Structure 1
Amino acid sequence: TYLEDSDTTGFTKSYEGGRYSFVALLPSEGKSLQEYVTALSGVKLRALLDGATHETVYASIPQFEGDFSMELSKELAAMGMPDAFDPLRADFSDMGTFADSDLNLVVGSVAHKTHIAVDEHGTKAAAATSIGMNSAAASAEPAKPKTVTLDRPFVYLIVDHETDMPVFIGAVADTGR
């Protein structure tokens, strides 16, 4: 499908089975990747995906590979689960305690890592999160095909159609051009 709004051209391409799709979002010429990402809210993304049109799209995409890792403890605490990291308030007693000790279990660290590789054979993507515990429309005439050439920085997503949510979001800042 073809995607377009005032700041974006792009496309979606379903993977075999149809549950997941690769989505490419190319910012308008002259708009930096940083400006584009800063303005890309969930509402804007949803409107863009909901406005997709079924058209022939000639797409050109560079091969790319990327890894990302991040420690998420501070972000998770800020999002509403600070008690899990606090030795005085955490309650993981149903999971156990330290042997021969009255110490409670608390979340000590949350590490998240992702990997994606896109080439002429398809997409390979993986993600893992570890938690360390510590004490403490149709037309009569065929439409002209659209062309989307990802030859400058772009945003990509892998979207799960069962949940209608992205499972991967990333950006390619250097397309080798």
Structure 2
Amino acid sequence: MKPALYLCLLLLGLQVQGQQQEQQIHHPPGDQSQADGKNLPHVKLAPSNADFAFKLYRQIRDESGNKNIFFSPLSISTAFTMLTLGARSNTLRELHKGLAFNLTQLGEQEIHEGFQHILQLLNDPQREVQLNMGNTLFINHKVELLQTFLDHAKNFYDAEAVSTNFQNPEALREINKYVETKTHGKIVDFFDSLDPAAVTILINYIFFKGFWERPFDSFNTRDADFFLDAKNSVKVQMMHQNAHFNVHRDENLSCWVVEIPYKGNVTSLFILPDEGTMKQVEDALLKETVSSWLKSLEKRYIYLDLPKFSVSGSYDLKSLFEKMGVTEVFSDQADLSGLANLHLKVSKAMHKATVDVRENGTEAAAVTSIEILVGASPQFRPPPHITFDRAFLMMIIDKNTDGVLFLGKIVNPAAKED
């Protein structure tokens, strides 16, 4: 029996530099896509992508122990959904279920059209934020993929097909250079080697560099303790700001939710559970919960402390997907006959993401605001002091697509995990 040929799948998610600039917090529900475009494919797709994001988060949480978590659910779902273009039979059904698609509400054509629109919106050159997402297929030069698959991958996912000799050492340098370039030098030498039996390496990348609408002044950054548990702490650089933010106190889940928006219609949510309630908040992390938080945000004057941090996460998606019930695509029973007239299976699926959150000192001087408050009265409540000095959650949301670009848990801001 001839050995099965393999399809290698690589997914990359990258977020860098939560930097800052200029204040003006708005939560713009009057977005045109919401007002008159509820039937647009990318709008209909958003709930499924959110379900997938939080389902995958819980799977990673269950395996990671007490470690930082950071990944791009949108990068992962984009790559695997592009793979469904070539999947058939039960392999396709498993992928659809694993990706949280409900085909009674959303047809296959609409799913791919949804991702097509997401890519167009994310890569809009007119956006203030630096946000890029793309796909490439590196294909064994001795193999021909089916033209229908290549056409659909190009049409819906703008995926470029590159003929590659995986047995040539130059191919390793070529693909690593591609990854390094697309991630602006943040991910270097991702591949140690290439499987010469590989038929295709599918790469999705996402790169984000955002500037806060309101900067943290580096003059106010100081050393502080970040508590890992009741007995242990690490020193971090804690940024500080007294300002108006969109804030919500969730009494049911015992947590604070603070929105810190970027320029360019991208925002971030930082969720600080009370001591001992992290698991309770994580278990409730659903699209309905996040939607409720967003609707409940109110602009309040707060004292905010947020650590500077730079963390990364690397994940074996094959293992994670198998534990979520997606197994056939990785087995000899895989039906990827829509890709090529060969017996293919996914042999490897990897994901790496990194995040760097800090203040922008050179731009802080350009933003000077004087906050004028009503004088204290007998009913006056002092502003809440929200200090992220223990484990917290964060997510970065693109408001144009309602997509969760990145999702993570910061347990130790001083750790750098790969």
Q: Does 1:165 align with 2:403?
A: yes
Give ranges in structure 2 of 5+ residues lacking alignment. Answer: 1-245, 362-372, 375-379
Q: After superposition, what is the alpha-carbon deviation per residue over 1:112-166, rounded to whole angstroms, capped at 9, x for unaligned?
A: 11101111139xxxxxxxxxxxxxxxxxx96965442212221111111123232
- Go from structure 1 to structure 2 and tell me whether the alpha carbon gap of 1:173 and 1:88 turns closer, same or farther (over 3 Å shift): closer
SS at 1:168 equivalent:
strand
Identity %: 24
Aligned match of 1:9: 256
Q: After superposition, what is the alpha-carbon deviation per residue over 1:89-123, rounded to whole angstroms, capped at 9, x for unaligned?
A: 422x44335xxxxx51211111011101111139x
- Structure with the bigger RCO (C-alpha within 8 Å, sep 6+) is 2
Aligned match of 2:387: 149
Query: What is the distance in 1 between the residues matched to 2:279 and 2:345?
Result: 36
1:1-177 → structure 2 map (5 Å cutoff)? 1-6=246-251, 7-18=254-265, 20-28=266-274, 30-77=275-322, 79=324, 81-91=326-336, 93-96=337-340, 103-121=342-360, 145-174=383-412
Bigger fraction of residues in strand? 1
- Go from structure 1 to structure 2 and tell me whether the alpha carbon gap of 1:95 and 1:41 turns closer, same or farther (over 3 Å shift): closer
Query: What is the distance in 2 between the residues matched to 1:152 and 1:78?
Result: 29
Which letter does structure 2 place at the counterpart of 1:158? I
Query: What is the distance in 2 between the residues matched to 1:79 and 1:174?
Result: 27
Deviation, structure 1 residue 43: 2.5
Give ranges in structure 1 of 5+ residues lacking alignment. Answer: 98-102, 123-140
Which of the pair has more CA radius of gyration? 2
Checking the alignment, whether the CA contact within 8 Å between 1:152 and 1:175 is kept in structure 2 is: no
SS at 2:298 equivalent:
coil
Query: What is the distance in 2 between the residues matched to 1:85 and 1:175?
Result: 35
Query: What is the distance in 2 between the residues matched to 1:52 and 1:86?
Result: 46
Checking the alignment, whether the CA contact within 8 Å between 2:310 and 2:413 is kept in structure 1 is: no
SS at 1:50 equivalent:
helix
Checking the alignment, whether the CA contact within 8 Å between 1:2 and 1:146 is kept in structure 2 is: no
RMSD: 2.8
Query: What is the distance in 1 between the residues matched to 2:413 and 2:301?
Result: 24
Query: What is the distance in 2 between the residues matched to 1:161 and 1:56?
Result: 24
Query: What is the distance in 1 between the residues matched to 2:309 and 2:357?
Result: 5
TM-score (norm: length of structure 2): 0.32
SS at 2:297 equivalent:
coil
Aligned match of 1:131: none
Checking the alignment, whether the CA contact within 8 Å between 2:250 and 2:257 is kept in structure 1 is: no
Checking the alignment, whether the CA contact within 8 Å between 1:153 and 1:172 is kept in structure 2 is: yes
Deviation, structure 1 residue 61: 0.5
Query: What is the distance in 1 between the residues matched to 2:396 and 2:301?
Result: 20
TM-score (norm: length of structure 1): 0.70
Which letter does structure 2 place at the counterpart of 1:96? A
Which letter does structure 1 place at the counterpart of 2:386? V
Deviation, structure 1 residue 40: 3.1
The alignment covers a number of residue pairs equal to 150
